[in-house]
């Protein structure tokens, strides 16, 4: 562990720490004024001492819409001259979300990413090949800072230039790979195509997009690693909010700094432990942009079961999908990840696919699933369609396309869902 005292403290100790830090968060928000302060006062909160952890679910939410409305930096809780960095993402539908950081925020973020790397078995002796994108996106610089804080050697490759990436892994012999899961697959394929030895790798931290256990199996088939999930979002801090350890049995949430809840995305009410719900985070130790009960839109479950690694932090499941990414196809609600799970679970499909929401006919929405066969022989489309129907109750038009047809990701996140409203098909072979 990077910080054993924090990561393995008792639940009672951690609850006392969270309560104290929550009081401080509420007091700071009230002093800063603005949207969150106004909502707290409307809820009858005059100070942090008015709030307990048990009362947290009664306090007002913060949403991405609030950040959009306050663009670019209207929700800061510190003077702008205290910022040392700005990060963010294009966000949903290309709308920008920007987040400011103080020096203390960057130090916190670095330590959270160091915890994440330690979860994957990294140490000061490790070499970390970092293929997350550098820039406004939080992935590259977040992991970079974490590797430096851990004392490891970091190779700041960023995304793209796949041939060069493979050569650097072969030459510098890193033991840890960090990138999106889709790009990990691409690197594994590229190494196989050239016969390059990547056997120095031992572990990978893959995030920035939801991915399934079936995709984990596919990654571990093309790379000599244990593939682990890392979770974060720029509004909360970036990567390092939660991470799988070598047990690969849920993501440990760094709840001494990020108080997490799960709610029903429709009603906003809490859901029971182990039940899937929308993740909501409060950030009691952030300075520049502290958020109270921020609704992430990500769907997952929480559990407090013991982990063999010794960490006592609450664990979240892999993200099942986003509340706003749910597809409604002829009355059936489905997340893209559920289709991925079924397709890859058949063993007939390569880990490259794209869901095409067909809206060319206004009277109904259909779903075309473009995929590639796992082997030389074409997978029977009717078998795949039957598996999707049996598992999800979803009628889909499966198209098994020639190898290399489905786009591979080189930079950024994989595009798993596209919409076809008119004109030519988004992929050859779908017409």
Is 60 exceeded by the pLDDT of residue 22? yes
Which pLDDT belongs to residue 346?
A: 94
Rounded distance between C-alpha atoms, residue 333 and residue 327, angstroms: 6
Mean pLDDT of 380-386: 94
Homologous superfamily (CATH) of 326-420 is ANL, C-terminal domain (3.30.300.30)
Fold topology of 1-322: Rossmann fold (3.40.50)
pTM metric for this prediction: 0.91
Rounded distance between C-alpha atoms, residue 118 and residue 97, angstroms: 29
Instruction: Give residue-wise pLDDT tens across range 195-252.
Output: 999 999 999 999 999 999 999 999 999 999 999 999 999 999 999 999 999 999 999 9
Q: Confidence band (pLDDT; 50, 70, 90) for 341?
A: very high
Which pLDDT belongs to residue 325?
A: 84
Residue spans of the domains in the chain: they are: 1-322, 326-420
Q: In what order do the strands lie in the sheet with 302-303?
A: 153-156, 127-130, 176-179, 203-206, 226-233, 238-244, 251-253, 315-316, 302-303
Instruction: Give residue-wise pLDDT tens across range 243-284.
Output: 999 999 999 999 999 999 999 999 999 999 999 999 999 999
Q: Residue 394 CA to chain centroid, in angstroms?
A: 26
Return the C-alpha torsion angle 320, 323, 329, 330, nearest 10: 120
Instruction: Give residue-wise pLDDT tens across range 129-160.
Output: 999 999 999 999 999 999 999 999 999 999 99
Is 60 exceeded by the pLDDT of residue 92? no
Which pLDDT belongs to residue 362?
A: 75
Instruction: Give residue-wise pLDDT tens across range 287-335.
Output: 999 999 999 999 999 999 899 999 999 999 999 998 888 888 988 989 9
């Amino acid at each position: 562990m990077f910080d054993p005292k924090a990561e393995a403290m008792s639940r009672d100790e951690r609850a006392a720490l969270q309560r104290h830090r929550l009081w401080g968060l509420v007091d700071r928000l009230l002093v800063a004024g603005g949207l969150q302060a106004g909502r707290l006062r409307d809820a009858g909160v005059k100070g942090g001492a008015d709030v307990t952890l048990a009362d947290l679910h009664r306090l007002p939410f913060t949403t991405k819409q609030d950040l959009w409305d306050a663009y670019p930096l209207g929700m800061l809780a510190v003077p702008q001259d205290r910022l040392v960095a700005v990060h963010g993402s294009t966000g949903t539908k290309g709308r920008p979300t920007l987040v400011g950081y103080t020096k203390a925020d960057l130090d916190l973020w670095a330590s959270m990413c160091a915890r994440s790397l330690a979860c994957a078995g990294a140490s000061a002796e490790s070499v970390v090949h970092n293929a997350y994108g550098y820039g406004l996106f939080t992935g590259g610089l977040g992991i970079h800072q974490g590797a430096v804080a851990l004392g490891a050697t970091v190779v700041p490759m960023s995304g793209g230039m796949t041939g060069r990436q493979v050569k650097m892994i072969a030459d510098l012999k890193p033991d840890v790979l960090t990138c999106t899961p889709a790009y990990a697959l691409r690197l594994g394929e590229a190494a196989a195509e050239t016969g390059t030895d990547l056997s120095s790798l031992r572990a990978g931290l893959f995030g920035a997009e939801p991915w399934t256990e079936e995709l984990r199996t596919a990654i571990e088939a093309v790379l000599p690693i244990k593939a682990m999930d890392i979770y974060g979002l720029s509004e909360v801090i970036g990567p390092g909010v939660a991470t799988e350890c070598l047990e690969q049995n849920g993501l440990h949430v760094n709840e001494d700094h990020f108080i997490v809840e799960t709610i029903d995305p429709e009603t906003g009410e809490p859901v029971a432990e182990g039940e899937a719900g929308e993740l909501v985070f409060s950030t009691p130790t952030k300075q520049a942009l502290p958020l109270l009960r921020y609704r992430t839109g990500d769907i997952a479950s929480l559990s407090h079961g013991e982990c063999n690694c010794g960490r006592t932090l609450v664990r979240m499941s892999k993200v099942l999908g986003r509340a706003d990414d749910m597809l409604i196809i002829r009355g059936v609600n489905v997340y893209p990840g559920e289709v991925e799970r079924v397709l890859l679970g058949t063993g007939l499909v390569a880990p490259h696919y794209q869901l095409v929401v067909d809206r060319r006919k206004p009277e109904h929405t259909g779903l075309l699933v473009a995929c590639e066969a796992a082997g030389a022989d074409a997978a029977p489309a009717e078998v795949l369609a039957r598996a999707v129907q049996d598992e999800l109750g979803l009628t889909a038009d499966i198209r098994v396309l020639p190898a290399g047809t489905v786009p591979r990701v080189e930079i950024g996140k994989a595009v798993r869902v596209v919409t076809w409203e008119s004109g030519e098909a988004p992929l050859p072979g779908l017409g």
